Amino acid sequence: VCSPEFLFVSCVSAALCGWAEVFIPKTIEVLSGSCVTIPCSFDVEDTYNSHLDETCRALWKSDQTVVFDSSNPKSNTIQGELKGDLKRKDCSTTLNNMRPDHSKEYFLRVECNIFKHNLLNQKLHISVTDVPPTPTLTSSTLKVKEGTSVSLKCSAPAPCLSHPPALTWSSSLGHIQESLQENLDRTKVQTSVLNFNASRIHHGKEISCTAVYNKKDGSPKSSVSTSLTADISYPPKNTTVSVSPSGPVPENSRVTLICSSAANPAVRSYTWYRADGGQETVMGTGHVLDIAASEVSSPFFCKAENDLGAGRSNTRQIEVQCMYQISNLYVLYTLMVNLLRSSDQQQILVTILTIVNQDIREHPQEWLKKVV
């Protein structure tokens, strides 16, 4: 009679009675129409090792019903194959063409000439579903600074070793490495690692990983995806200036300047500078600046800043029309001719140019009053 501490072992009167235990996963999720490879090993008392020989067979049972017998695979309820060597205590088994009605709890029985045991210390629950499990992304979020080296790992269970899932990424952002890895319970998982350097062009981009399962019975393949949205922080980039009206503009008019820049986090300040003679002088702040046209006749630019840095626009300059342009001299010329009633037009022209040149330098705002 077996002692109470070995109640997990069921033995018959004609068989050797002693301790034995099996090592199998607690649960395995299987895709309908596909196969499942059960990683399995067992151990017995050393005195019984010699009884593990070529007569041994593995039986997988649900309740008291044998669904798989390695010695007679063609007559099994579930077709399959013993992959392991029972003499080496390897009972790994592949079951094929799994169906939803195969979702049950199973245990292993090992039978040799005189060594016959139900190994009940661990039972396996197989869940057969029509939809494969969702892949896992590690990490589940992506929030980094531009330039950071990023490694994203996509993992999907591979219960059917002859038909592991194919993993694909939505975008080819960098180098991809694939491998078949083993969990602690010896079940397998297909992995794909995507390595790339984070860039601002990735910000807001959805990065997804799709697992495609080909079924062993030839039925249509199944696929399932998981994704994350990249949050890449970076200093202001592509800083530009727009001007309205674009010019040429009269010197006594006003213009609107707009500074634009792409940044994450958002730009916190905009500063406008006049670049004159190698010196940079602040002439205003804000995303939009309303200013007299005369103030932007010299080169100017804007600078956008956030917590990570600053971005500077190219230098701009607006063509500003002075009040006394050469095109207006004909009017002055005519006025002077009428005023002086003289036919010496050459002398009048010299006089006009002299007066205009001198007064524009000395009294630019008063010249129109004198003429009018």
Burial 238-252 (b: 16+ CB within 10 A, else e): ebebebeeebebeee
Instruction: Classify the C-alpha dihedral 78-80-86-90 as positive or negative.
Output: negative
234-321 and 20-129 share a CATH fold: yes
Cross-strand partners of 233:
145
Judge residue 63's burial from the number of C-beta atoms within 10 Å of its C-beta, 0-12 exposed, 13-18 middle, 19 or more buried: exposed
Residue showing tokens 């970076």: 234
Task: Give the fold, CATH level 3, of 234-321.
Answer: Immunoglobulin-like (2.60.40)
Q: What local confidence, expressed as pLDDT, does residue 213 receive? A: 94
Instruction: Classify the C-alpha dihedral 53-55-59-63 as positive or negative.
Output: negative
Report in angstroms the alpha-carbon separations of 181 from 158, 166, 184, 185.
9, 14, 10, 12
CA distance 226 to 165: 14
CA distance 310 to 329: 47
102 φ, ψ to 5°? -90, 5
CA distance 356 to 350: 10
Judge residue 283's burial from the number of C-beta atoms within 10 Å of its C-beta, 0-12 exposed, 13-18 middle, 19 or more buried: middle
Judge residue 321's burial from the number of C-beta atoms within 10 Å of its C-beta, 0-12 exposed, 13-18 middle, 19 or more buried: middle
| DSSP per position, 187-243 | -EEEEEEEEEE--GGGTT-EEEEEEEE--TT-PPPEEEEEEEEEEEEEEEEEEEEEE
Task: Cis check for the bond before 299: say yes or no (omega within 30 of 0).
Answer: no
Residue showing tokens 């602040």: 282
pLDDT along the chain (372 residues), means of 10: 36 54 95 95 90 94 93 88 95 95 96 90 95 90 93 95 93 89 95 94 93 87 93 96 86 90 96 87 94 84 96 89 56 60 62 65 50 46
In sequence order, what are the residues at sequence separation of 6 or more whose Cβ sits closer than 8 angstroms to the Cβ of residue 261?
A: 236, 237, 238, 239, 240, 267, 270, 304, 311
CATH number, domain 20-129, options 2.60.40.10, 3.40.630.10, 3.40.50.150, 1.25.60.10:
2.60.40.10
Whether the Cβ atoms of residue 152 and residue 142 lie closer than 8 Å to each other:
yes
Whether the Cβ atoms of residue 367 and residue 323 lie closer than 8 Å to each other:
yes
Considering just the CA atoms, what is the radius of gyration of the chain in Å? 42
Q: What local confidence, expressed as pLDDT, does residue 101 receive? A: 94
Query: Which tokens sit at 333?
Result: 């010329």
- Domain chopping of the chain, boundaries: 20-129, 136-233, 234-321, 326-364
CA distance 325 to 249: 13
Task: Give the fold, CATH level 3, of 136-233.
Answer: Immunoglobulin-like (2.60.40)
